[in-house]
Amino acid sequence: MDLRPPATEKDRFERNIRILRSGRTKSIETPNGDRPGNDPLALAASHEALLQWSGANNRLSNHTAPTLLFCGEKDQHFDNAKTDS
């Protein structure tokens, strides 16, 4: 399974950050009862932090514990998870 760093899709992340910071986001989850809605600036900050992450490949190469990764058939990584299981 390939756990590439988000920086491999830097353009998409940067576009999302610009949209989230623009104040024009309409697809953000809205408040529901006592549950607050998503904060677009917090989401932008989390995207920025992800761009600093170098991925998990190096860490997982030393991982020896049996681990089950599950994803649904419509998940884009399903074939990799099925092959690796």
User: Could you tell me what percent of the chain has a pLDDT over 90?
Assistant: 15
Domain residues for 41?
A: 6-84
User: Into how many domains does the chain fold?
Assistant: 1
Report whether pLDDT(3) > 70. Answer: no
Domain membership of residue 12 (yes or no) is yes
CB atoms within 10 A of CB 17: 19
Model pTM score: 0.56
d(CA 47, CA 43): 6
CA 62, CA 37: separation in Å to the nearest integer?
39
Q: Do the domain assignments include residue 28? A: yes
Query: Average pLDDT in the 51-67 region?
Result: 80
Per-residue confidence at 27, pLDDT binned at 50, 70, 90? low
Reference 40, options 31, 29, 49; nearest CA is 29
Over 70: is that where the pLDDT of 1 sits?
Answer: no
Q: Is residue 24 part of a domain?
A: yes
Considering the chain, what is the average pLDDT of its residues? 81
| Paired strand residues for 35 | 32
Tell me, yes or no, whether 1 lies in a domain. Answer: no
